[in-house]
């Protein structure tokens, strides 16, 4: 199978990244199955796609007809067999926990066609280890999108120890058809390239505030103004989900060592379920659609 044979893409996980990836795939013309573990999560993801397509049409980035056609191509599902049966490409975007992902792959392996390619949107976890849960480690790789997928150009395509070149080429071709720029990551190391750089930056920002050396607003305004980041570190943490960054750090800490120790400020936010935009509160408050800047 090569990229021209890919018609149906199953996206597992309808959260922040999953629904964004499903939207990008639908805009590229693929038939998309969007799957999550319950009706509420799937419905929420589907509604977010509808909202985002509406925004793109409102800004004349796509036509109303394109938005309607893309939404038509998305089927929301809870049943795994129905989601992955007949799929050519399965993109997994479930929570950033090794055990959860392994359980999902074990289940998906039972129902997916033998020649389907599996691509994980993991932010940091070992592609090699995940691939070994399946019977197709050579048709398994990382396909790491950035948040929000519909706006961000880059896709890291990560090779595991067993990934065949043809798999990487297929996934890169699919990413290009989605209008993205794939960059191949040869070494399967924690956080790959972008998150290995970016997540410690968010962590360091948290340590600065934790130590009382500066406020959230001071850190964000300074890094935006003078480092030229499009978002401050805390704004970005709220955008990607504080839990996502935290789990990436936990994994990097475990595998790479002490330098990656997650700041307690992040742990506290995760414990309080203040995860950023998706829960309405993180380092900033998004209640009522507005943003309250902390002092």
How many degrees, rounded to 5, is the angle at CA 70 between CA 68 and CA 76?
Answer: 105
The first and second tokens of residue 243, run together, are 């839990």
228 lies in the site for ligand 3HC, by CB under 6 A: no
Q: Residue 126's beta-bridge partner residues? A: none
237 lies in the site for ligand 3HC, by CB under 6 A: no
SS3 (DSSP) at 182: strand
How many degrees, rounded to 5, is the angle at CA 47 between CA 41 and CA 49?
Answer: 105
* Residue in the shown chain whose Cβ atom is closest to ligand 3HC: 123
The first and second tokens of residue 256, run together, are 């790479």
User: Which of 38, 39, 47, 55 touches ligand 3HC (CB under 6 A)?
Assistant: 55
Site pattern 97..136 for ligand 3HC (x: CB under 6 A): --------------------------x-------------
User: Which of 89, 175, 240, 249 touches ligand 3HC (CB under 6 A)?
Assistant: 240
Helix (H) or strand (E) holding 175: helix 165-177
Instruction: Give the nearest distance from C-beta 191 to ligand 3HC in angstroms.
Output: 9
270 lies in the site for ligand 3HC, by CB under 6 A: no
Contacts of 115 (CB under 8 A, 6+ apart): 1, 139
Give the largest Cα separation in the chain, rounded: 56
Q: Is the CB of 152 or the CB of 217 nearer to ligand 3HC?
A: 152
Sequence length of the chain is 295
Q: Is the CB of 17 or the CB of 89 nearer to ligand 3HC?
A: 17
- Scanning 86-94, 99-107, 147-155, 181-189 for contacts with ligand 3HC by CB under 6 A, the matching segment is 147-155
223 lies in the site for ligand 3HC, by CB under 6 A: no
Reported in sequence order, the residue ranges of 146-213 that DSSP labels E, i.e. its strands, are 154-159, 181-185
Task: Decide if 269 contacts 261 (C-beta within 8 A).
Answer: no
192 lies in the site for ligand 3HC, by CB under 6 A: no
Q: Is the CB of 164 or the CB of 194 nearer to ligand 3HC?
A: 194
Give, as one character, the DSSP assignment of residue 154: E
Instruction: Give the nearest distance from C-beta 231 to ligand 3HC in angstroms.
Output: 4
- Would you state the torsion angle of the CA atoms of residues 3, 150, 66, 142, taken in this order, to the nearest 10 degrees? 20
Instruction: Give the nearest distance from C-beta 114 to ligand 3HC in angstroms.
Output: 30
Residues taking part in catalysis: 123, 144, 156, 195
Contacting positions for ligand 3HC (CB under 6 A)? 52, 55-56, 123, 146-148, 150-152, 195, 198, 230-231, 236, 239-240, 244
């Amino acid at each position: 199978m090569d990229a021209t044979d890919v018609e149906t893409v199953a996206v597992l996980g309808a959260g922040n990244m999953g629904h964004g990836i499903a939207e990008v795939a639908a805009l590229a013309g693929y038939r998309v199955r969007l799957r999550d573990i319950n009706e509420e999560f799937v419905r929420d993801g589907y509604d977010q796609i509808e909202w985002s397509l509406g925004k793109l049409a409102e800004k004349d980035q796509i036509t109303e007809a394109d938005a309607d056609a893309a939404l038509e191509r998305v089927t929301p599902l809870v049943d795994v067999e129905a989601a992955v049966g007949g799929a050519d490409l399965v993109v997994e975007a479930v929570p950033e926990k090794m055990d959860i992902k392994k359980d999902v792959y074990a289940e998906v392996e039972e129902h997916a066609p033998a020649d389907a390619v599996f691509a994980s949107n993991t932010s940091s976890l070992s592609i090699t280890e995940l691939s070994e849960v399946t019977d197709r480690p050579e048709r398994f790789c990382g396909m790491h999108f950035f948040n929000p997928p519909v706006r961000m150009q880059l896709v890291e395509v990560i090779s595991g120890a067993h990934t065949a070149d043809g798999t990487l080429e297929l996934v890169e071709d699919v990413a290009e058809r989605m209008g993205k720029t794939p960059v191949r990551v040869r070494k399967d190391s924690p956080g790959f390239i972008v998150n290995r750089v970016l997540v410690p930056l968010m962590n360091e920002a948290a340590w600065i505030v934790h130590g009382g050396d500066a406020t959230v607003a001071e850190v964000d305004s300074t890094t935006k103004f003078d480092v030229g980041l499009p978002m401050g570190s805390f704004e970005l943490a709220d955008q990607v989900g504080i839990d996502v960054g935290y789990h990436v750090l936990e994994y990097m800490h475990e595998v790479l060592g002490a330098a990656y120790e997650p700041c307690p400020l992040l742990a506290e936010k995760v414990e309080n379920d203040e995860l950023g935009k998706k829960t309405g509160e993180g380092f900033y408050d998004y209640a009522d659609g507005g943003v309250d800047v902390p002092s």
